Amino acid sequence: MNPKKTKLSALLCATALVAAGTVAAHAIELPNTISWTAYDTGSGGYNQAVAIGSALRNSVGVNLRVLPGRNDVARQVPLRERRVDFSATGIGASYFAQEGVFEFGEREWGPQDVRVLIASNDDGNLGIGVAADTGVRTIHDLRGKRVAWVVGSPALNQNITAMLGFAGMTWDDVERVDFPGFGASWEGIVNNQVDAAFAATTSGQAYQLEASPRGLAWVVFPHDDEEGWERLQRSAPFFEPNMATEGAAITPENPHEGAAYPYPVLIAYSDQDESLVYNMTKAMVELFDQYSGDAPGANGWALERQSFTWAVPYHEGAIRYYREIGVWSDEAQAHNDMLIERQRVLREAWDEILAQDIPEDEFTQRWMELRAERLEEAGKDVVFHPQEG
């Protein structure tokens, strides 16, 4: 069974009950119009939101207004300012926002009290693609090879940093090649300027490399290498083991043993109305069959694909629904409580740094230093060290 997928048989039982309509004691109660932010028009996340909106309109007469955003901040600002109810976002506006790092480590942001409703875990992976002619197949093989660094894209670079850590390696063990953007980094592989870059296995750039003379292979991260996974997740706890069956150079018969994290992740702020969150979560689960086949990747929202011990806590309204259908465990609650406590530590550290008179050009570095100190004092993992922010 896919390690990313929750193994509790209760999930499968609950899915069957939901499909049969036996769980829904009350109708889905949502306002006439609800609003989300999502990735930009044409993206997988936007297309899935449109499919979900169609199901909402056809089944319960609710209109879903989707506001596209080009980047994490553009998707987060309307959510923070309560101009939208929810955001179907990625790792940046969920995990990085919670942690107060990268763009969320700037003075106008800081750690955000975000909460998950539900997330999509589809059949692809996120990993390091390499030119097949290099012979690279494992992360250890990447030593000494040319690896893309995308300027201004800390999430992409942090992901590779964590994956190098799987083998106890750092950027000093590879040849870093800088590129101005994600697309340029993959064009660089095709043009033999670099050997490896980060992407989703289902990205268009990956298919282009597969069709090129250099060909494509994906770095393998063996799921039974417990020490390697411990090192990777120390730097990127949002990654989970996953066996991908979809993507360039991947088939169900030739899957990729690697890593993934949810996308999109449907989030709200912690103070969002509990009843609204409860009913939105309920709609996502109980209308699944009506939207799952209408956009690529939408099958990832399935109840049995949820991980309730992920890196960002769930909203109380969502938990109420999951308890109601019998899929929320004591383990999930203990994990959720731990994550909420982590957010409290980060928020108090942020209040502390804002109270200090710090020059603007020193603010981010000082924040990252204080953040690390307060997490260590609280016995929490320090994900992202000062030099990484």
What are the distances in angstroms from CA 14 to CA 34, 117, 233, 290, 326?
26, 17, 30, 17, 7
Task: Return the pLDDT at 97.
Answer: 95
Please write the tens of the pLDDT for every residue from 103-122. 899 999 999 999 999 999 99
CATH number of 126-257: 3.40.190.10
Please write the tens of the pLDDT for every residue from 131-171. 999 999 999 999 999 999 988 777 788 899 999 999 999 99
Task: Return the pLDDT at 11.
Answer: 54
Intervals of CATH 3.40.190.10 along the chain: 9-121+262-338, 126-257
Q: Which superfamily, per CATH, for 9-121+262-338? A: Periplasmic binding protein-like II (3.40.190.10)
Please write the tens of the pLDDT for every residue from 250-259. 999 999 999 9
Q: Which of 107-111, 126-130, 200-204 has the lowest mean pLDDT?
A: 200-204
Please give the structure tokens belonging to residue 52.
């979900």
